[in-house]
């Protein structure tokens, strides 16, 4: 008997190794405006959050009134970097292809960025029709709205849904939704030595590599006899 009826994957930093690219690009673009922040600051405050939340935080914390053109310039620079450097996280295609329960993707990225990212790494086909973004709900992560919306659309109860996330923001959202949460720490922005999460963002377990996914949860794998 499966413990879960649905698996929800975050996109950035889970399916695609994009977080380090995004962080470096944001640091570089803000530096052009005279604002100096480091990758550590980006990781603590911005990873897993939607673009509007990031921009609001910059305005509030640094008093920087961003030019009207900044968002478009940042997004285009980021997508150009993705075209050159974006890679799929190792073993993700094999895991998605062998899933024996329904799965979907729920991300804070914009629809355009998410769709392009998945296309660049060859995941569009297996995710088609199962991509949910923060534009679909009133509140993005760490609120539970996006995960609850995705589960409802997929016909799964929150208590029988597994979330795979990398950021503390995403973990908090999954926990708030009443779901089981695993933290993936195999992206280039994290690692197995990533510090322990704070009490309010403590996942149910950690996933170091997707090569271990079905070792941890063998019932989630498709039965070859029924494939």
Closest alpha carbon to 26 in 45, 8, 9, 7: 45
Angle, vertex CA 134, rays to CA 73 and CA 120, nearest 5: 60
The answer to whether the CB of 108 falls within 8 A of the CB of 133 is: yes
Rounded to two decimals, what is the model's pTM? Answer: 0.87
Q: Which residue in 10, 86, 105 sits closest to 48, CA to CA?
A: 10
Question: 191: Cβ–Cβ under 8 A, 6 or more apart, which residues?
Answer: 185
Task: State the chain's mean pLDDT as an integer.
Answer: 91
CB 166 within 8 A of CB 185: yes
Phi-psi bin for 179: left (phi > 0), alpha (psi -120 to 50), beta? Answer: beta
d(CA 110, CA 71): 12
Task: State residue 166's pLDDT score.
Answer: 95
Residue 205 clears pLDDT 80, i.e. is over it? yes
Which of 28, 57, 69 is CA-nearest to residue 169? 57
- pLDDT class for 59, splitting at 50, 70, 90? confident
Cβ–Cβ under 8 Å, residues 38 and 108? no
- For the segment 18-26, the average pLDDT, to the nearest whole number, is 87
Whether the pLDDT of residue 118 is over 80: the answer is yes
pLDDT (mean) for 39-46: 82
- The pLDDT value recorded for residue 74 is 84
Tell me the C-alpha distance between 51 and 74, whole Å: 10
C-alpha 5: how far from its chain's center? 20
Distance CA 35, CA 99 (A): 44
What average pLDDT does range 20-30 have in this prediction? 87
- What is the tens place of the pLDDT at every residue in 169-193? 999 999 999 999 999 999 988 888 8
């Amino acid at each position: 008997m499966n413990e879960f009826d649905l698996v929800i994957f975050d996109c950035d930093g889970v399916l695609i190794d994009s977080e380090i690219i995004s962080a470096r690009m944001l640091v570089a673009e803000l530096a052009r405006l005279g604002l100096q922040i480091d990758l550590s600051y980006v990781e603590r405050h911005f990873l897993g959050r939607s673009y509007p939340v990031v921009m609001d935080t910059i305005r509030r914390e640094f008093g920087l009134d961003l030019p009207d053109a900044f968002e478009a310039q940042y997004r285009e620079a980021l997508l150009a970097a993705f075209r050159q450097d974006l890679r799929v996280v190792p073993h993700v295609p094999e895991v998605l292809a062998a899933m024996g329960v329904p799965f979907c993707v729920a991300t804070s990225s914009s629809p355009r960025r998410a769709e392009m990212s998945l296309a660049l790494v060859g995941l569009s086909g297996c995710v088609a029709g199962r991509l949910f973004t923060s534009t679909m709900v009133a509140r993005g992560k760490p609120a539970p709205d996006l995960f609850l919306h995705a589960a409802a659309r997929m016909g799964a109860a929150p208590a029988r849904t597994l979330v795979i996330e990398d950021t503390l923001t995403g973990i908090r959202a999954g926990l708030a939704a009443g779901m089981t949460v695993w933290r993936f720490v195999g992206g280039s922005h994290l690692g197995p030595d990533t510090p322990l999460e704070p009490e309010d963002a403590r996942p149910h377990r950690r996933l170091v590599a997707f090569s271990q996914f079905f070792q941890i949860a063998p019932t989630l794998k498709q039965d070859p006899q029924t494939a």
